[in-house]
Structures are given as C-alpha cells and as structure tokens.
C-alpha cells in the first residue's frame, strides 16, 4: 500500500509543475535563510583560529593600571608564556576629513604574544603609526598616508607605516575607539603622564581550555573595576559578532518565509484537494481511507520538502562566506565554507514540519467528506451569515466586486492565508525601507558598524519574497479561475460582460491586497523596531518616511492587479457555454 | 404577431478530436412574439445547442440569428452580455445558481446589472420570491434549497427584468413531478403575461402546454407543429383550478 501511495504522490507532483516549483522555491528559500543563520558565524571560526595562531594570540589578555601589576600576572598558576606589558592610552587621530579617538599601544620591538600581523606596509611603526586594518579602511587611510596625532603632550604629524590585525581586536567601528601601534617614544611624547596609561599583559596558558580559570584569578587579585580581562574564547566571540546583525535579520526572514510557506502551501494544497475532490472520492471508493488519501498529499509535500532542504542547504552553505565578508577585516584570510552536516538537520526539520503540517491541515478536513459528496464534487457551503459577508452586502459595491468578494469569502481560510502572506511580504518591504532610511540618515563619511553585506542581503531576501508572493498570486489566480470557470459561465449567461466577469476575480484580490498592504505598514514598522531593539540600538530608530510607506499598499495593489489580470481576462474571453459545459 | 427571434441556416459543428461532430445542421426557425415554443427530440439531437446559439451563449459555425430585426450572432461577447441582461432570461436544467450568493442576491443580480439601485432591486427580488412561495428562503444559500425550490429561484432570476424572451433548457428535467408542475405553472404564468418562451424538453406535459412543438432529430428540424389554440391543457400536476 505504501508503494501505491508513493506512486500516487509522485504522479500528483508531475501533474502540477508550477505548484511543485513554487513550493520548492519557497521551502528552499526558507531553508537557505535558516542555514545562513546557522552557518554565517561559523564561516569565521577557522580563519580566526588561524589568525590567533599566526599572531601567537593571548589565551588571557589583561588590562591593568600599572606595569608592576601587569608583570605580577606572569607568576599566576598555569601561565607558560608572556612578554613585557604593552602600555596604551587614548589620543586623537586627525585626518583631512575627520577626527577620531585612537587607542595607541606603545611598542618597542615586536611583541612575542598577541603580535600584530602586518596586512600592508610594515608592523613596525618606527616614527609613524601602524593602524588596525578595519579602522584604516573605515577612515580611508593606507600605508604612506599622513595624519596628525594629538594628545595632552602635543601634536605630531606621522606617516601610516602600515596596517595590521590582532585576534584580540574586533572590527572598527563596532570596536571603538580603534587601535594603532606607535613607538614607545612617540607615545611618551603624546601622553607624558604615565598615570594616564594602562598596561596590556598578554598571557599564554598551559591549558587553553582553562583560560577562564586564569582570567578569574587575575580579577580576584585586583581591586574591583580596576582590571579588565578577556579570554581567547571571548576574543573569538567578539570577532564573530559581526555575524550577529546578519543572523538577526536572517532569523526574522526565516520566520517570515516559514509563515509564507505555511500560508501558500496551505492555499495550494487546499485548492488542489478541492479541485481533485472527484479523484479523492474515487480513491476512497476503491478503498483508500481518509488517512491514506491525506498521506498521499503529505508524501508529496515531504518529498518537495526534502528536495528543498537539500537545495537550500547547498545554497546556504555556499552563500554564507560571502555574507560574512565583514569578518574578513580582522582575520588573515576570508571566511570559509563551514558546511556543518548538523545544520542540514536543524534547518531541514522546521521546514519539513511546516510543509507537512500545512498540507496535513489542508487535506485532512477535505478528505473527510463522504465518498458520494466527493464524487459529486460538492463544495462546502459559503458562509452567508458571516460578519464579513454581511458587511459586503451592506456596502454599496458594484456587482462584479460584490460577487467577487462573496466568492472570495466562500473560502475564508484561503483569504486569511493569502492576506497573511501578502502582509508578511509587505512588512519585509517596510523593514527594508526603514533600514534604508536609517542608512541614509547617517552623516556622510561616518563609519558604520552595519556590515556592507546587510543591505544587499535584505534586498535579496525581499526580492525572493516578492518573487514568491507574485508567483503564488499567479498560481492562486489560475486555481481560482479553474475553480470558478462554471460560475463565470453563469455570470455571462446572466448578463455580465467579459470585463465584468474578469473583474469578479481581479477586484476582490486587489481589495484584499490593499488591506494587506495597509496592515503590512504597522507590522513592518513593529518588526523593524523589534529588530532594532534586539540588535542593541539606542534611541529612537529612524524609520521610513510616510511617502515611502504609502508606496507599499499602492505597490501591493498594482502587483496583485498585474498577477491576476491576465489569467482572469484569458479565462473570461471564451463563450459562456464553454464554461457551463463543465457542469 | 411579429417575429421576435429567427434562426437562418443555423449550423454548429464541434471539433472534438479527429472528426468534426455536427450538432446542428442548417436549422431555420422563426418564433413570434408571445409564443410558447417547445423544442423536443431525443438526447443528442441538438436541442441544447440550438438554445445556446439562440441565447448567444455559443457561436454558430454557420448561419444567422436575428433578434427583433437585428442580427446578433456576430456581436462581441460584451454586446451579447448586454443583450442578454436586457432581453433574455435563461433557465438551465441544473439551475446554475451562484453558490456564493444568497437566494435573494441571485435574483437581484440581473436587476442590478440592468441598472436598478440596490434597495429597489432587493425589494423586487423579495416580492418575486414571495410570489413563488419561497420568500422565507431569501437569505438562504442555494445549496440549502430543494431542486424544485432552486429551479423557482432560477426562474425568478430569468424573469426578474421581464425579458422579451425566456429560454429554458430542460427546466423540469431534474425535478420530481410536483416540482415540475410548479415550474411549469410559473412558465405558463409568464407566458400569460405576454412573454415569449422557448423551452427544450423531454417532458410531454411541458410540450402539451406550449403553443407550438418543434421536433429536432440529428441536428435538423423534422417537425414543426402548432397545437390547437382552443384546447384546454390539463396536466396531472396542475393545481386545482378551484
């Protein structure tokens, strides 16, 4: 029997290529975003580890008030290697364009632990300054450029000797102030008051896994608030935090896509079950139970889900390193594909569950109809007494819109699911517009801690959602045409013109889209504010201006008109009798 | 009486698969204003095809259809729709009520299309449904009504605009005896009001109520017989005259 069910399921898939492709696209997109959430951070893990090894990184990096306190840390239990403490202080860096605070480290020679790795020019500052690479890039500085350093001791014009990275420093301007290395003598000139210096002691420990234990010992031996410590794990987490905004956005889009998958698959399966009522009746007549008929649909969805999961996983793992480009600023090599097999399972499971559940929910109710009812293709009675139906009756609507809305309300589940998917897509657009408004609101030239990949990612995901929503609308319009062909014939026989008949299909969709578009504005703004708060944004978020937001419901209506007009006009051109012959 | 509807050499051929199937082969038919014409013949003889062509629901392969002196078979779909809403009412064997609308809304539909405002249209629909004895079903869904009740609603919809011509394709074909009698009574009432009726039927009782019976066979008119005007037609399901 299982074999029969599988064969029936595959025959069903082959017969509806558009719905099959749409489901795979939707579920694949949801899997891709979910895989990206899981993978994007991981793509930086190996490059950071190699950076740590190349820099002979500090398992514990302590920042203390005096040189003596720093040197005392070398005697801590478990410490195997260290170098002379490195003094640091904050001064001002001024270029022709801007003035920024700079945390300078005074070095005499090359530190043995947590060694700066030159990425351009030299790591030896000489009489100049070596700037941390991400800061140099953000300020548009390269080796050989001149800038001015100023501190309490005076001003000094210096040359950028080179740029460098260390595993303990995350990307500027997220890590602000940025850091630079100068000769000890330069630092003494800029800040002669050594009581204003702090001292960094880089320690290597015998057992890296116990770095936290050593760090706690450092803190225990100092007055509260005078010492800060970072273990190598914390340094790594900090470096990988560049993936955090991406993960947040991707998580939001995953949820939106999963909700849209649920809605669209529910609509498609529901419509298909309705369309195939007679076939379902035949299957039941030859002995299939309602559960087995439902199983046919579930097998179809699960198959599509598996295909989508594999495709989505492949796309996600391939895309993840490209999205994590921001992390490359602080590492010796760009992020690399992680492709954790566990992520296939973690990403595939929710997508499969959503697909199977939406299919099961849509198919279960309909397969419970009696065999006779199914064979007669008897549809459920519309809800004439529902509040919405009564409101529609009371409104002075034209005949086509009135008839169209009543037809739409006959399938309330579909209306709810369609409104939800359009609203969610619209809210994602509102989110992107608000993000763009915030980016535009930033003063020109000011470095941003938003990874450059983020806007591109958001627009790409919006594009996918729009494509999916449009394809779904066309598919739903085609299904509606097929379901209502007989009604179209009656309407024509009663005296509606082809244009009016087409309007019974298009106009209610447009009204629905307008309402969903309006709903999407507050929904999108709420999403944006929530993500802004979750990302640690301070103050009131900048949102899209009303003129931009107004474009969302208007654009939604136009797109829906575009998606539904052609199928409707084509379906209503033939003579009435052709439609009526379908009875 | 004047000619209301005329078919000249009406032909309809269906292209289904390898060989074309002729459904109607050069039918000439003239219907006077106020006539009640029954079209009879065995299944597949072309009754429904003829009615569909005369109502502008389908396009002839050849021949002409004239309504009240105007040729209508070449009109666009839009013009045909406008013509149907003003001049024609159609009753189907399987009722063809719109399931998403209430009974009353189904009857209101042609009135609204003809330009009547919503409230007067609703009043007219309710009155018609009362006259047909189903006023209490006005807010029900068509699917909640019996076959006879649904056909009465369909008839109300067809008669709502008091069209010149009412065409019925087996209007009693799907009804029990009692319901068929009720529907026939309504058709006769419409006829008595001066409306022209063209009804395809297998039912001899319906034919007996007509002024004229046209018989089709293999897509051709084989007999066209006027019934005696003076005969009193009493059918077993007629309501008691008293």
Contacts of B50 in chain A (CB under 8 A): none
CB proximity A492 to B under 8 Å: yes
Contacts of A494 in chain B (CB under 8 A): 84-85, 90, 109-110, 113, 157
Query: CA-to-CA distance for B28 and A544, rounded, in angstroms?
Result: 70
pLDDT band, residue A407 (cuts 50/70/90):
confident
CA A409, A410, A415, A416 torsion: positive or negative? Answer: positive
Q: By CA distance, what is B156's nearest residue in A?
A: A494
CB proximity B139 to A under 8 Å: yes
Residues 6+ apart with CB under 8 A from A291: none
Q: Look at residue A283 and tell me whether its pLDDT is greater than 90.
A: no
User: A286 versus A52: which is more confidently predicted?
Assistant: A52
Q: Which of residues 428-487 of A touch B (CB under 8 A)?
A: 486-487
Q: Report the gap between the CA of B41 and the closest CA in chain A (Å).
A: 20
Query: CA-to-CA distance for B60 and B64, rounded, in angstroms?
Result: 8
Cis ω before A173 (30° cut-off from 0)? yes
Q: By CA distance, what is B144's nearest residue in A?
A: A381
For residue A289, what are the CA distances in angstroms to A195, A281, A293, A296, A547?
A: 84, 10, 6, 11, 55
Neighbours of A212 (CB within 10 A): 15
CB A310 within 8 A of CB A352: no
Q: Which of A71-85, A250-264, A448-462, B25-39 has the lowest mean pLDDT?
A: A448-462
Q: Look at residue A303 and tell me whether its pLDDT is greater than 70.
A: yes
How confident is the model at residue A375, as a pLDDT?
Answer: 47
pLDDT band, residue A197 (cuts 50/70/90):
very high
Q: By CA distance, what is A383's nearest residue in B?
A: B100
Q: Look at residue A182 and tell me whether its pLDDT is greater than 90.
A: yes
Nearest to B99 among A382, A491, A498 (CB): A382
Query: How do residues A364-390 score in pLDDT, each as one tens digit?
Result: 766 665 555 554 544 444 555 667 777
CB A302 within 8 A of CB A352: yes
pLDDT band, residue A549 (cuts 50/70/90):
very high
Query: How many Å from the N-terminal Cα to the C-terminal Cα in chain A?
Result: 33
Q: Which of A50-54, A219-223, A281-285, A557-561 has the lowest mean pLDDT?
A: A281-285
Nearest to A406 among B84, B97, B100 (CB): B100
Q: By CA distance, what is B86's nearest residue in A?
A: A495
Cis ω before A32 (30° cut-off from 0)? no
Mean pLDDT of A553-579: 82
CB A548 within 8 A of CB A262: no
**pLDDT tens across the length of chain B (242 residues):** 689 999 999 999 988 666 788 899 999 999 999 999 999 999 889 999 999 999 988 899 999 999 999 999 999 888 888 888 889 999 888 888 988 889 999 999 999 988 888 889 999 999 999 988 889 999 998 988 988 899 889 989 998 988 989 999 988 888 888 888 888 888 888 899 889 999 999 888 889 999 999 999 999 999 999 886 544 444 433 444 43
β-strand pairing of B3-15 with B20-32:
antiparallel
ipTM score of complex: 0.83
How confident is the model at residue A583, as a pLDDT?
Answer: 44
Residue A581: what are its φ and ψ, rounded to 5°? -65, -15
């Amino acid at each position: 029997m299982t074999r029969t069910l599988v064969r029936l399921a595959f025959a069903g898939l082959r017969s509806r290529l558009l719905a099959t492709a749409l489901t795979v696209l939707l579920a694949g997109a949801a899997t891709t975003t979910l895989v990206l959430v899981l993978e994007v951070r991981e793509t930086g893990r190996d490059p950071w580890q190699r950076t740590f090894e190349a820099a002979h990184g500090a398992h514990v990096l302590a920042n203390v008030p005096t040189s003596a306190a720093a040197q005392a840390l070398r005697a801590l239990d478990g410490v195997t290697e260290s170098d002379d403490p490195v003094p640091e202080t904050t001064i001002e860096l001024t270029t022709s364009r801007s003035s920024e605070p700079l945390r300078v480290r005074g070095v005499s020679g090359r530190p043995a632990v947590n060694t700066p790795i030159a990425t351009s020019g030299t790591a030896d500052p000489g009489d100049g300054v070596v700037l941390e690479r991400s800061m140099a890039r953000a300020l548009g500085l390269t080796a050989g450029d001149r800038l001015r350093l100023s501190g309490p001791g005076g001003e000094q014009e210096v040359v950028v000797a080179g740029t460098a990275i260390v595993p303990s420093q995350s990307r500027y301007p997220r890590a602000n102030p940025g850091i630079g290395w100068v000769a000890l003598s330069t630092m003494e000139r800029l800040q002669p008051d050594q009581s204003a210096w702090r001292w960094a002691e880089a320690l290597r420990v015998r057992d890296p896994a116990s770095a936290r234990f050593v760090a706690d010992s450092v803190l225990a031996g100092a007055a509260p608030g005078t010492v800060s410590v970072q273990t190598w794990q914390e340094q790594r987490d900090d470096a990988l935090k560049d993936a955090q905004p991406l993960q947040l956005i991707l998580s939001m889009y995953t949820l939106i896509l999963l909700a849209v998958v649920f809605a669209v698959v529910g609509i498609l399966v529901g419509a298909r079950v309705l369309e195939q009522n007679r076939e379902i009746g035949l299957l039941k007549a030859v002995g299939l139970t309602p559960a087995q008929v439902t199983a046919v649909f579930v097998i179809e969805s699960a198959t599509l889900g598996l295909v989508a999961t594999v495709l989505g996983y492949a796309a996600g793992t391939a895309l993840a390193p490209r999205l994590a480009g921001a992390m490359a600023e602080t590492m010796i090599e760009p992020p690399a594909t992680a492709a954790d097999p566990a992520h296939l399972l973690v990403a595939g499971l929710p997508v499969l569950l959503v697909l199977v559940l939406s299919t099961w929910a849509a198919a279960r109710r309909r397969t419970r109809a009696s065999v006779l009812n199914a064979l007669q293709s008897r549809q459920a009675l519309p809800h004439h007494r529902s509040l919405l139906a009564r409101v529609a009756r009371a409104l002075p609507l034209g005949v086509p819109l009135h008839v169209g809305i009543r037809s739409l309300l006959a399938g309330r589940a579909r209306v709810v699911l369609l409104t939800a998917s359009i609203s969610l897509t619209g809210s994602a657009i509102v989110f992107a517009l608000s993000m763009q408004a915030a980016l535009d609101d930033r003063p020109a030239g000011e470095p941003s801690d938003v990874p450059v990949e983020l806007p591109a990612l958001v627009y790409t995901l919006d594009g996918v959602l729009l494509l999916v929503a449009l394809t779904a609308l066309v598919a739903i319009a085609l299904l509606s045409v097929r379901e209502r062909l007989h009604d179209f014939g009656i309407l024509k026989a009663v005296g509606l013109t082809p244009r009016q008949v087409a309007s019974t299909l298009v106009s209610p969709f447009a009204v629905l889209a307008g309402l969903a578009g309006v709903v999407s504005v507050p929904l999108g703004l709420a999403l944006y504010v929530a993500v802004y708060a979750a990302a640690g944004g301070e103050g009131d978020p900048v949102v899209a201006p009303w003129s931009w937001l107004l474009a969302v419901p208007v654009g939604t209506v136009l797109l829906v008109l575009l998606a539904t007009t052609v199928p409707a006009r084509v379906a209503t051109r033939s003579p009435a009798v052709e439609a009526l012959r379908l009875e | 009486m004047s000619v209301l509807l005329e078919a000249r050499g009406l032909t309809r051929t269906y292209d289904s698969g390898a060989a074309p199937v002729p459904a109607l082969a050069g039918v000439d038919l003239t219907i006077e204003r106020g006539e009640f014409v029954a079209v009879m013949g065995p299944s597949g003889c072309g009754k429904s095809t003829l009615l569909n062509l005369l109502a502008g629901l389908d396009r002839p392969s050849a021949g002409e259809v004239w309504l009240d002196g105007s040729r209508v078979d070449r009109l666009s779909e839009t013009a045909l729709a406008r013509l149907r809403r003003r001049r024609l009412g159609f009753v189907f064997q399987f009722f063809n009520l719109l399931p998403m609308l209430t009974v009353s809304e189904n009857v209101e539909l042609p009135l609204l299309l003809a330009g009547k405002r919503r409230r007067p249209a609703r009043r007219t629909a309710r009155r018609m449904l009362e006259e047909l004895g189903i006023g209490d079903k006005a807010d029900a869904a068509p699917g909640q009504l019996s076959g006879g009740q649904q056909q009465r609603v369909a008839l109300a919809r067809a008669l709502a605009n008091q069209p010149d011509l009412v065409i019925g394709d087996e209007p009693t074909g799907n009804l029990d005896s009692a319901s068929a009698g009720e529907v026939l009574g309504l058709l006769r009432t419409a006829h008595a009001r001066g409306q022209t009726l063209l009804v395809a039927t297998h039912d001899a009782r319906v034919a007996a109520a007509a002024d004229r019976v046209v018989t089709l066979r293999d897509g051709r008119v084989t007999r066209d017989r006027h019934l005696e005007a003076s005969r009193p037609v009493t059918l077993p399901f007629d309501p008691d005259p008293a």
